[in-house]
Structure 1
Amino acid sequence: MWGPGAARAWARRAVFFDQWAGLLDAGVPLVGALRHLSQHPPLPQAGRFLARAIEHIQSGATLTEALQASQFPLDPLERAVLQAGERSGRLVACLRLLADEARQKAALNREVWSGLAYPLFLLHFAVLVLALPEWVRTGDAGAYAGRVLSVLVPLHGAAWWILWWSSRERRGSAAAVAEALLDATPLLGSGRRALVMSRLAGGLKLLLEAGVSVLEAWPLAARACGSARLHWAVEEWWPRWQQGETPGETLRASARVPSLFADQYATGELTGRLDEVLGRLQHYYAEEARAQLKAFASWLPRLVYVSVACWIGWQVVQFWSAYFGQLEELLGP
């Protein structure tokens, strides 16, 4: 989830996993805990999904099977962590891990969108103001509205299309186009790439702490990181890993991930402290993403100011050109 409302959604998800873990930790049976959550759901529409899951569990299904059959909204990473917790008997600990991960995502989303709020407001304000003189001259409100919408509708459409495609598990050409458009944007593109690496490191760390093997964790984390190209790369590397090559060796020989990530990962792989290294990488790239997106948010208003100043200058030039042209017509040759 990535968008203006994602911070609240991730925060609710953290509350849900926390409440679930707290109920189980207090000795409430699994079905009783799910029934309580279905009656007082922290997530919108979670009650009916959990009610169906309870029916499947009572019919003999496992927790992960029941949640999948009930179509409870879980991403592949969350599903894998829950399955690992159920198999290992560490369900409470895995739920706590999911809650912590959701809180981190909520905080990052909140920080990014709060930083972009003013520049986005200024951009909309500039579009409204730049078209205002024509309305004042002609008095045609319909023409003014059409001119404003002709700018805002394509901008909103492109922004929401990119957000929609980048926040889901997309693997087609449209996903690659959305990713390429974001990466080509100065500062925003580098911030997005850092965010992808932070998600990848965080997903791997979460899955390893839950007891998932390294080779099982990589495809799941790659699907959840928000990069179609990285997902394709992991699918390409997978046969080599099955033949005995380690992910660290593959990353060092590839240009598809930053050299810092590849070197640190290989070091953690060799020393047996991969979870600690992944935690540091997650923190480093999250800070890098914050810095790049903050720089983008600070430069966007300046770009708007320059655009408005250039437009005003162009209007002044047009006015005086028309004025002197009328004088020449009146004075004659």
Structure 2
Amino acid sequence: MLWQRWQQRQSDQPGPLDDLLLALPILGSLQLRADIRSFCDSLGLLLEAGMPVLDALPRACNAVTNARQRRDFANLAPRVTAGQSLVRAFDGLSFHGKAMLIGVLNTGEATGRPGEALLRFARLQAQQLAASQQALASWAPRLFYLAVAVWMAYGLLSGGGFFPALPAELAGR
């Protein structure tokens, strides 16, 4: 419940928790990819519906849950307003999968269908994200069980389970 509430907040200023979440080894990358997918999906749908790019960009930013990422994606609109193409505006960002997005978006702009290209990229990201989440869901319990087994083995070996010690008065010391 608290996690969902935190995810739905619309803070403009990124906090330390936003940075911490993105810095986590596995979960940070999943969060980043989910935000990129949500942004591209929203922007693609808005462009396909006929909304102008400059109107669609701020609305698509609302789909991004992490405030740091939302602020980064909000910087796209001023770049497009300054005359850059959507591809060049994305080129200023840094994220996993940027090369694929730029390639797909280049093709989309060349054919006059950037919305369709963004939706295609969002579908690919969703498939990759689902595969990563599935792998995490199958490996997390295994790693937990392994940690418990190691802890139990350590307890047995360092305690008196296998190698009991005689009391000092019986050992003749």
Give TM-score scaled by structure 2 length: 0.83
Equivalence map 1:202-241=2 (5 Å): 202-241=41-80
Corresponding letter in the other structure for 1:214: V
Corresponding letter in the other structure for 1:204: L
2:128 is the counterpart of 1:298: no
Q: 1:330 maps to what in 2? A: 170
Instruction: Indicate if the aligned counterparts of 2:39 and 2:63 stay in contact, CA closer than 8 A.
Output: yes
Identity score, percent: 30
Q: Deviations over 1:180-206 (max 9, x none)?
A: 3255132x3333222222211210122
Q: 2:90 maps to what in 1? A: 251
Corresponding letter in the other structure for 2:13: G
How far apart, CA to CA, are the structure 2 residues paired with 1:298 and 1:177? 27
Aligned in 2, Cα 1:198/1:173: closer, same or farther, shift over 3 Å?
A: closer
Instruction: Indicate if the aligned counterparts of 2:34 and 2:126 stay in contact, CA closer than 8 A.
Output: yes
CA RMSD in angstroms comes to 2.5
Q: Deviations over 1:213-267 (max 9, x none)?
A: 1111112112212232232123334333222112211212432462211232233
Bigger relative contact order, structure 1 or 2, given CA contacts below 8 A and separation 6+? 2
Instruction: Indicate if the aligned counterparts of 2:45 and 2:119 stay in contact, CA closer than 8 A.
Output: no
Aligned in 2, Cα 1:307/1:256: closer, same or farther, shift over 3 Å?
A: closer
Instruction: Point out where structure 2 has 5 or more consecutive residues left out of the alignment.
Output: none
Give TM-score scaled by structure 1 length: 0.46
Q: 1:242 maps to what in 2? A: 81
Q: Deviations over 1:110-153 (max 9, x none)?
A: xxxxxxxxxxxxxxxxxxxxxxxxxxxxxxxxxxxxxxxxxxxx
2:159 is the counterpart of 1:316: no
Instruction: Point out where structure 1 has 5 or more consecutive residues left out of the alignment.
Output: 4-159
Aligned in 2, Cα 1:239/1:197: closer, same or farther, shift over 3 Å?
A: closer
Aligned in 2, Cα 1:199/1:272: closer, same or farther, shift over 3 Å?
A: same
2:114 is the counterpart of 1:277: no
More helix by share: 1
